[in-house]
A and B are shown apart, each in its own frame.
Chain A
Amino acid sequence: MRVSRSGARDVVGYVLIALPIVLPIASVKANRLASGEAVWLWGLGWKGVLALLAVPAFMSLAALLASSSRKGANPYAILRPLWSLMPAAALVAVSSLTPAAGLAAGARYGLGAGFWLMSAGAVLLSGARRVPLSALLLLAASLALASLSGYARDVSLFMEFESRKAMFFAELSKHLKVALLSAAAAVLPGILLGYWCHASERAGRLVMGFVNLMQVLPTLSLFGLIMLPLTYVSRKIPLLADLGIRGIGFAPAFIALWLYCLLPITVNTMAGFDGVDQTVLFSARAVGMTERQSLMKVQLPLASPVIFSGIRTAVAQNLGNATIAGLVGGGGMGSLIFLGLAQAAPDLVLLGALPVITMALVADAALGQAERMIKVAVLHGDD
């Protein structure tokens, strides 16, 4: 039997959401550091199982309806993003474990492999070819709602969040700030550098060599390389130090992330300009455009979808990379992760890591949507 690509994707999704049958969905922990005792599917009460089955049951019904209805829009395709409600439903299922008298002081539920893999499967199933932005937003909203309404009160991850709320939001804002600002600051130089590489073959080789070197350089050694001169400079020029440019903190993180962003933007800009049809360039000259007019009216518009794709890569990658800012005192979600590692508290690590993954995915999905719109606007088709 031939399985189409989206079919294969669905099969993986179905297998993943079925995994709680064989993998523990949660664990009961005496305190935040204890490894805990596994809770299996059959350990959940009937309420828990019901909550867990609600989304798959509803979606099966939608699929059944879709296969029987012949005309109009496919209801299953429209409802697909609802799959992303499954993790929140699973939280409700876990909360049903709590005995009437409540848990012992300090005790909590950890989320197990079954929960995580099932969540991954649900997100995968939420779109036919890619995870739609609506599914990601639904996921975030449903999780927030579940935790606000108390269903996650005894779940370790959310307890970590409760006890570090202020820090969480402060670091989240630092994370976004350093990631987005450094990416934004790389757009113009990246485009100029990319154009330069396109215009001069020698510059191309030189710059490409440099940006490639940047990519293979381990992140930490890059920080080391940046921290040394920054420390030196800020000692020599106190004014800079007063402005916050020091060997540790925001400045080295910003510079490192900025350097990482240059590569995708530069490479894509170069590819975008290189990809403009020679005949079209010839035409631009032949109708009497000046170099500048050819650049602004023809080359830049034609290269813009590819350039934007580079910016999208840079932003998505930067939201992940900004984690390392935590290592140099730049703050961000990395601070939570490294604190969690230091305390051997896995849920604190997750509390730092999950938002990073979510932000990267959301940015990629949103900018991907924008990229398709640009392609349609410029070339009237997105192939």
Chain B
Amino acid sequence: MAMISIENLHKSYGSQAALDGFSLEVEEGELMVLIGPSGCGKSTLLKCVNRMVASDSGSIALAGRPVTDYKEELLRRGIGYCIQEVGLFPHLDVYENIAVVPRLLRWPEGRIRERVDRLIAISGLSAGHLRKHPRQLSGGEAQRVGVLRALASDPPVLLMDEPFGAVDPLNRHTLQAEFLKMQKELKKTVVFVTHDVDEAILLADRIALMEKGRLVAVDAPQGLEARLDEAFIGDFLGSEYPLRLLGRYAVKELGLCGNGAEGGPEGDALRLEMEPGMTLKDLLSGLIRAEGDYVLVTTPEGRDIRLSFSDIKCLMKGARR
């Protein structure tokens, strides 16, 4: 059974339809990225899930139980929610901000402390941040606290509304990486709203593409590549989508195929270091820079591997499978 089932959801603001018969199923432990142009209804959809907004018709169920079965406050305490503006409580320090929901749930203080310590340990923050106040945090730190607050009561479902949208690009990348790492460990069911295609490609298990309150397509990032000829999909994701998709795959995670093996030290060929975060996109960039049609990639073990464009095609073929 799907963790979140949304069926035929409608919501209008006056004569403006924000959601127009939207249906989607999100599996347990899945990271679903909702993407679409601004005004397509993606934020409204999130707010319908935790009932910050009441839908006009249709239904949303969490693990089979309609959200309207719960008392609003109790429902929200069981769903993590972060927004772009973060909205930390300025009069509470970081610890108290994270502890807000567990306290509403009347957890014993010892359990709250344990939980906060564990969350801090898997986040990019340190225990030194706990006694700081929101006004003493940078934008990136505040956003991390926002995510931890959403995770504090260990809710099965996490709703994230452009959480990294207001952070500068360098920090955003760090936050995305940290979040992916956390998600690998926590395996929450996440609905993540963004309008940034690269972010969607990097994070998503599946991407749900929305337009005018409707679901246009839902598929894994590599699955959407095959559907770029369909009208709205190609327009929104852009013709360079396959290029962006390369950013999702780390070179080291893919089995090296083709003639990759043993390039041999050829004096002036471009040499790249295989760092853990090196993606196929970095590899392609190297090939474009290189004078010849291959680059030498040095593996962590110190071997040189010769990779050319046909290797990228081969690796992507593997990724699609």
Task: Show the binding face of A for B, using Cβ within 8 Å.
Answer: 277, 279-280, 282-290, 293, 298, 301-302, 378-381
Contact = CB atoms under 8 A, between A and B. Distances in A.
A380 B73 contact: no
B64 to A, nearest CB: 21
For A280, A284, A293, the residue with the greatest tally of chain B CB atoms inside 10 Å of its CB is A280
Contact of B76 (A288, A302, A379, A381): A288
Interface stretch (B26-34, B83-91, B113-121, B287-295): B83-91
14 contacts: A279-B87, A282-B83, A284-B89, A286-B76, A287-B76, A287-B100, A287-B149, A288-B77, A288-B78, A288-B101, A289-B73, A298-B89, A380-B135, A380-B136
Contacts of B72: 288
Contact of A379 (B88, B135, B149): B135
B158 to A, nearest CB: 12
Given A298-B89, A302-B90, 20 more contacts: A277-B87, A277-B90, A279-B85, A280-B90, A282-B52, A283-B83, A283-B87, A283-B88, A284-B89, A286-B52, A286-B87, A287-B76, A287-B101, A288-B74, A288-B76, A288-B78, A289-B73, A290-B73, A379-B90, A380-B136
A277 B134 CA distance: 13
Given A283-B89, A286-B76, A288-B73, A380 B133 contact: yes
B81 interface: yes
B99 to A, nearest CB: 11
Contact of A287 (B77, B85, B86): B77
A298 B88 CA distance: 11
Given A285-B52, A287-B101, A279 B91 contact: no
A288 B88 CA distance: 14
Contacts, number: 61
A381 to B, nearest CB: 6
Contacts of B81: 286-287
Contacts of A379: 90-91, 133, 135
Interface in B58-109: 72-78, 81, 83, 85-91, 100-101, 104
- Categorize the interface residue count of chain B: 20 to 34
B132 to A, nearest CB: 9
B279 interface: no
B104 A288 contact: yes
Nearest to B101: A287
A285 B76 contact: yes
A288 B73 CA distance: 4
Contacts of A287: 76-77, 81, 100-101, 104, 149
Contacts of B76: 285-288
A286 B146 CA distance: 12
B172 to A, nearest CB: 20
B143 interface: no
A381 B76 CA distance: 32
A374 to B, nearest CB: 11
Nearest to B152: A287
A206 to B, nearest CB: 29
Nearest to B78: A288
A378 B75 CA distance: 29
Nearest to A381: B135
A85 B81 CA distance: 61
Contacts of B133: 379-380
B50 interface: yes
Nearest to B87: A283
Nearest to B150: A287
A283 B101 CA distance: 11
B77 A279 contact: no
Given A280-B90, A293-B104, A301-B91, A286 B50 contact: yes
Contacts of A380: 133, 135-136
A279 B85 CA distance: 7
Contacts of B77: 287-288
B91 A378 contact: yes
Nearest to A298: B89
A379 B133 CA distance: 8
Contacts of B52: 282, 285-286
Most B CB within 10 A of own CB, among A284, A287, A290, A380: A287
A379 B73 CA distance: 27
A244 B84 CA distance: 61
B165 to A, nearest CB: 14
Contacts of B87: 277, 279-280, 282-283, 286
Contacts of B91: 298, 301-302, 378-379
Contacts of B135: 379-381
Contacts of A282: 52, 83, 87
Which 5 pairs show the lowest CB-CB distances between chains A and B?
A: A283-B87, A288-B77, A288-B76, A279-B87, A279-B85
